[in-house]
Structure 1
């Protein structure tokens, strides 16, 4: 279980996240929604400890994450894998090497930078690429792939970290609808097959309602809604955000039962198989 207790972050006079408290059970897929500047990205970066909180605490399985330093902090960042909107791949490197770099917390910085990977590293990377239908692109330069393919490589890179939690910060914001569907399908299948806790920041209400078990809505750094997708009706959206604040084309008919509709098949196998 992941506990976020009165977590806040200030940048000068601006409060990006304001006393947020959450309880995230193991294996839940959570969509975090809100407009730009609502505090979504800062919240995820604090959970991963890429950004230090101004106050509050993050606790995972009785471990005080906010107190971690050095190697323990690096291992936490590996077990709490982060996927970014910008993919964060080395474009001149091939796909396989990019994925193996995800092992840096366990292989060490020097080995990763000199590409001194073990056979285990290679096997794990190939398995992760296979799960995302990317083995044919393994030796292709990352920069030559489409945006959707690059984002799936980023997911494979996160998978080889052997994470317990996966954080995705606007992973489909720059993708076309077809590629966005493939990426969301992959995240949802990993959540189901591996039992990983997944927190994903999204701009689109309909996507959050279609894929997530739970939705957290933020505005001005605060949580304004926390509940099941079906509870986030258009009336509730207006109540929390104001008319048209998030999505004028909000579709109440979209629910988690529509996940498989129009989905692309993903080669997902449970961890350890």
Structure 2
């Protein structure tokens, strides 16, 4: 179990995360929703220990990870894999090497400095790429791939860490709807098949409802909703997103990744359109 106990994170006078208390059972797929600046990314980075909480504690399976230092902290960051919106790949390195970098915290410093990977590690990396249907790109520079492909490489790298927990910070925010579906399908498959806890920040309500069995809503750094997808009613959405500057309710349409067919209307008049220019 992951326990977040009264965690607060301040940046000067700004409170990014405000007294968050959560218990997340092993094997859950959790979506965190909220407006930009609600504290979603800061909370995930605090769990991973990319930043430290200003107060409170984070406990995983009885170990207070918020106080870890040195090798113990590196082991936690190995067990708690992080996937970023910006992919965080090395563009000039080939895809296979980028995936193999997920093994760094499992190896000695000497092997890492020499960039020596075993045959078993390479086979495991290829298997991860095959699972995500991008093994054909293994020898391409990562920078030549599309955004959706790069995010799948990042997921394969996370799998190489053999994590107990995956944190995905806006993993589909920069992707088109088709690639967003592929990435979310991959995360759900990892959650269901491997039993790995997945916590992901999302801007889209339909995605959270479709993929997550628990949704947490944040506003102003605090948790204002925590429940099942069917509990995310209009009133709950209002708690999370509030109203726009003119007082109108937020429309779920603007948080949707659904692909809708474009209806082409017939012209009102059958008269031919005038040419945009006169022929010479």
Question: How far does residue 106 in structure 1 lie from its aligned partner after superposition?
Answer: 1.1
Specify whether residues 251 and 166 from structure 1 end up closer, same or farther in structure 2 by C-alpha distance, changes over 3 A only.
closer
Q: Which residue of the partner structure matches residue 15 of structure 2?
A: 15
Secondary structure of 1:238's aligned partner: helix
In the alignment, structure 1 residue 114 sits paired with structure 2 residue 118: no
Q: Is the 8 A contact 1:205 1:250 kept in 2?
A: no
Secondary structure of 2:21's aligned partner: strand
In the alignment, structure 1 residue 249 sits paired with structure 2 residue 243: no
In the alignment, structure 1 residue 50 sits paired with structure 2 residue 56: no
Secondary structure of 1:174's aligned partner: coil
Matches within 5 A, 1:233-248: 233-243=233-243, 247-248=251-252
Instruction: Provide the rounded CA distance (Å) in 1 between the counterparts of 2:251 and 2:141.
Output: 37
Specify whether residues 102 and 247 from structure 1 end up closer, same or farther in structure 2 by C-alpha distance, changes over 3 A only.
farther
Q: Alpha-carbon deviations, 1:181-226, whole Å to 9, x = none?
A: 0000000010000000000000111111110000000011000100
**Bigger Rg, which one:** 2
Matches within 5 A, 1:151-190: 151-190=151-190
Q: Which segments of 5 or more consecutive residues in structure 2 lack a partner in the other structure?
A: 259-280
Question: How far does residue 251 in structure 1 lie from its aligned partner after superposition?
Answer: 9.2
Specify whether residues 239 and 69 from structure 1 end up closer, same or farther in structure 2 by C-alpha distance, changes over 3 A only.
closer
Question: How far does residue 139 in structure 1 lie from its aligned partner after superposition?
Answer: 0.7
Q: Is the 8 A contact 1:97 1:115 kept in 2?
A: no
Instruction: Provide the rounded CA distance (Å) in 2 between the counterparts of 1:246 and 1:157.
Output: 37
Q: Alpha-carbon deviations, 1:27-82, whole Å to 9, x = none?
A: 00000001111000000001001111101011011011011111111010010000
Secondary structure of 1:249's aligned partner: helix
Matches within 5 A, 1:53-68: 53-68=53-68
TM (norm. structure 2) is 0.87
Q: Which residue of the partner structure matches residue 85 of structure 1?
A: 85
Specify whether residues 97 and 249 from structure 1 end up closer, same or farther in structure 2 by C-alpha distance, changes over 3 A only.
same
TM (norm. structure 1) is 0.89
Q: Which residue of the partner structure matches residue 274 of structure 2?
A: none
Q: Which residue of the partner structure matches residue 261 of structure 2?
A: none
Specify whether residues 250 and 85 from structure 1 end up closer, same or farther in structure 2 by C-alpha distance, changes over 3 A only.
closer
Matches within 5 A, 1:147-226: 147-226=147-226
Moved over 6 A (4+): none
Secondary structure of 2:140's aligned partner: coil
Instruction: Provide the rounded CA distance (Å) in 2 between the counterparts of 1:239 and 1:92.
Output: 44
Q: Alpha-carbon deviations, 1:89-145, whole Å to 9, x = none?
A: 001110000000111111245533532112222122111111101111111110111
